[in-house]
Amino acid sequence: MRNNVLMALALLVIVWGAAGTMDAGNVPYAGFTTDPTFTVIQVEAGSPTEAAGMQRGDVIRSIGGIAMENVSASTERGRPAIGETRTFVVDRGGQEMSLDVQYAGLPGTQAMAGYLSSLIGLAFLGLGMWAYRKTPNASTRLLAWLGVTLGLAFFAAPYFTSATMRIWAGAITTVAVIMGFAILLDVLIRAGKDDAYSEAPITSPLVYLPAGLVAAMLTGLSIFQPAATSGLNRAVSVIIGLFIVGYFGSAMVQVVRNYTGADEATRESRALGMMLGGVMVGLLPVTLTSLVALVSPQTVIPTGQYWFLTLVAIPVTFALAAVRGSENAVVAAPTGMAPPMESAPPPAEPAPAPATETTSAPAEPEPMADVSTTPMADTPPPEEPRTRSVGGPDSEPSSPEATSEDDASGEGEQE
């Protein structure tokens, strides 16, 4: 039953990602980034907003006649078409200015990053399911769930013309991705235990509590769409930044503990070194960009929007390590158990002495061989994308604190 549920969800995610990838040619591009206060912190060279005269430091007041705080109206309007022109009203040094921005298609580098992101999503999904099908147990099943949830984070979402469909699809995706962070930590906690590849319950449900609270908050904001004031945007950006840094930081600490707390044989049998390398390569760059955005929202890291690509190291190393650990645990289990003892044959009854006139004592039976139990051997241990801010209509930060220009047009477009 669990196999069927996982397979059905995996297929659904693949269909979802395929639909989103096919829509990539319709995603509009404006070429700017804002912080949670709608202040422009980056205008990309050669972008439509640069051509329209937008500058770093401009504060966007409205796009296409809809105020930045009006999330509901922006959602109802939908994303702009490629070639469509919308008027941006900005405050520059106390003076309001109108800038006519004509949206373009995604430039080559961003389009390529989108396709690579989809491949990473496919790696999470496919390798997680491969590990579970090859060596089914609690750890590989958890890895399959990690693939389903984080696969959604990397696949481009399909665009729905219905505002209601966009809202609910976004809410469901948000919950899945947020819970994927907790599953990632759960996988690492389990990998450090002696019974990692058994069905024994290991991780406390408290690992999932912060993720559940953040998912509930973001879902509520997505559905009820309160006014996206600067204060609300700042608060949400801080919460998301702390969430990312907290879970990814905990994951890095846990994998180091797993490695340093194991002996050489255990490290080899469970491929703990491989997992350590995968976590550091995959999570450290993303954690650093999130930390910088949390501390200094107006700082732009050059090429930082592409650092998420390092996360491909996670599904590759985790799947290989899980399969190796599972196979070594199966091989080690019989050798660590005491072999069954064969029952000693009962001693033969002494033959009755022949009757003679001389009485002699019966012969002593030979002492029974002492059958000692084979000692029990010690069983060797088995083995941003850009994160949505509550921003106003048309705002979606490129990091927990930076709003992407593509949602600055109000429809959750990707750059």
> 58 vs 34, 293, 382, 394, CA distance in Å?
9, 19, 58, 15
Alpha helices in 261-337 (DSSP H): 264-270, 272-295, 313-335
The answer to whether the CB of 66 falls within 8 A of the CB of 73 is yes
Per-residue pLDDT in tens (0 to 9) along the chain, 415 residues = 677 889 999 999 999 999 999 999 999 999 999 999 999 999 999 999 999 999 999 999 999 999 999 999 999 999 999 999 999 999 999 999 999 999 999 999 999 999 999 999 999 999 999 999 999 998 999 999 999 999 999 999 999 999 999 999 999 999 999 999 999 999 999 998 877 776 666 677 889 999 999 999 999 999 999 999 999 999 999 999 999 999 999 999 999 999 999 999 999 999 999 999 999 999 999 999 999 999 998 888 888 889 999 999 999 999 999 999 988 887 655 444 433 443 444 455 554 544 444 444 444 444 444 434 344 434 444 443 333 333 443 444 333 344 444 443 344 333 3
Interatomic CA distance for residues 13 and 7, integer angstroms: 10
Amino acid letter for position 392: G
Identify the architecture of domain 2-23+106-330+383-409 in CATH.
Up-down Bundle (1.20)
Max distance between CA atoms of the chain, in angstroms, equals: 137
Interatomic CA distance for residues 330 and 344, integer angstroms: 31
Identify the architecture of domain 29-104 in CATH.
Roll (2.30)
A 10 A CB-CB count for 114 gives 20
The domain segmentation of the chain, as residue ranges, is 2-23+106-330+383-409, 29-104
Q: Give the residue carrying structure tokens 């665009």.
A: 159
The full DSSP string for 161-209 is SSHHHHHHHHHHHHHHHHHHHHHHHHHHHHHTSTTTTSS---S-GGGGH
Residue 44 backbone zone (phi > 0: left; psi -120 to 50: alpha; other: beta)? beta
pTM of this structure: 0.77
